[in-house]
Homo-oligomer: A and B are copies of this chain.
Amino acid sequence: MYQLNENYQKLPGSYLFSTIAKKVAAFTEANPDKKVIRLGIGDVTQPLAPAIIEALHKAVDEMASAETFRGYAPDLGYDFLRNAIAEHDYKAKGCDISADEIFVSDGAKSDSANIQEIFGADCRIAVTDPVYPVYVDSNVMAGRCGDYNYDTQMWSRVIYMPCTKENGFAPAFPSETPDMIYLCFPNNPTGTTITKEQLQAWVDYANKNGSVILYDAAYEAYISEDNVAHSIYECEGAKTCAIELRSFSKNAGFTGVRLGFTVVPEELKCGDVSLHAMWARRHGTKFNGAPYIVQRAGEAVYSETGKAQLKEQVAYYMKNANTIKNGLQAAGYEVFGGVNAPYIWLKTPDGMTSWDFFDYLLEKANVVGTPGSGFGPSGEGYFRLTAFGSYENTVAALERIQAL
């Protein structure tokens, strides 16, 4: 009889968003007259920018004629997109990353889950706590995380780096040396970030200790402060120790369009072995390219018109972030994030647990957020609100919270 991957059985249920959905459904059934405002899930709500819509229509028309039809895309992405990314996301920001080092994909979630495949089965991973669950779960599936302790909510082989208000949400170097270090700045879920100097210290740490950094920069478009790096390759020495994961989901509203990319520098080697070559082989074997029409939409993100329109879109969401942040502070809450990221992380009042506060906010203000404990044990006592709703809903939600 065939056997299954036993690591899957170790995974605890993924109940965070389904529990939220159930609680909200029960509440709306019991209170059909109440209008619930959802500021929970990190999904965008604004339509695609006109420049992107135009590029999509144009590419669709190309697919309608034999002369301009496109079949299989190059595994690693069309040159028109890889060149645009290299030019605008890297060269324009002083990072020496070439188009050949950019791997276009169907999104950062896939990439952040798949990237662990090229590493050894015994590698130990380090993650910030709280954390985006995909980093850990994908490593559990590969057998790297040991066993789950339901009491501590921790995996025996994972190195956790707590990020709380006590350390300013900046992870300290762990006491055990990790092989693979997952960092996400600006951070999901806390909405906080670290300075360029702090990031440089992580690059130096990785180069010194023989670790690789898997750097998730999905929220870089929301950075408003000068001393925050948009890319890890702004740091000296990053090309010998870091892979960067990037997304079009939040900066261009592509959550339902699906496009992302990963940068694996040519210089990144473990002994003689090139990680760039390994990731290219992985793409060539297990992926067949992102859709042509979607890659053309991605190209439009970098056009002058596209950039102007998306700057407005980001500003729209950051106005929401500001509304939430100021509104919560006015109501007496202790609030973090929301300056360089579309997430606001608040300390629950009066020692409430994250889930107690969830129930309280749903029942009293009819507002849905995400309990911080759902992202890891150090998220207990915190709560996430997102800036991705409409401005009208965001204002209304904050008025309700302030009236509590």
Chain A interfacial positions (CB closer than 8 Å to B): 1-6, 8-9, 11, 14, 41, 43-48, 50, 53, 56-57, 60-61, 63-66, 69-73, 106-107, 109-110, 113-114, 117-123, 133-134, 137-138, 141, 179-180, 210-212, 255-258, 270, 273, 275, 278, 281-282, 284-294, 390
Contact = CB atoms under 8 A, between A and B. Distances in A.
Contacts of A137: 285
Nearest to A13: B281
A53 to B, nearest CB: 5
Contacts of A119: 2-5
Nearest to A2: B179
Contacts of A64: 47-48, 50, 53
Given A63-B257, A258-B291, A120 B50 contact: no
Given A43-B71, A256-B70, A257-B63, A287 B5 contact: no
B113 A285 contact: yes
Contacts of A291: 256-258, 291, 294
Classify the secondary structure of A's interface with B. Answer: loop
Task: Give the number of copies in the complex.
Answer: 2
A152 to B, nearest CB: 22
B270 A138 contact: no
A80 B69 CA distance: 27
A41 B74 CA distance: 13
10 contacts: A2-B210, A5-B117, A8-B282, A14-B281, A14-B285, A48-B69, A70-B256, A134-B285, A256-B289, A256-B292
Contacts of A8: 118, 278, 281-282
A181 to B, nearest CB: 9
Given A3-B270, A53-B64, 13 more contacts: A3-B122, A3-B123, A4-B120, A5-B121, A8-B281, A8-B282, A14-B281, A53-B61, A56-B293, A57-B60, A69-B256, A258-B289, A291-B294
Nearest to A181: B2
Contacts of A45: 66, 69, 71
Contacts of A50: 64
Contact of A282 (B44, B57, B141): B141
A6 B50 CA distance: 47
A72 B255 contact: yes
B63 A53 contact: yes
Contacts of A270: 1-4
Given A43-B71, A69-B47, A71-B43, A278 B138 contact: no
Contacts of A288: 106-107, 109-110, 255, 258
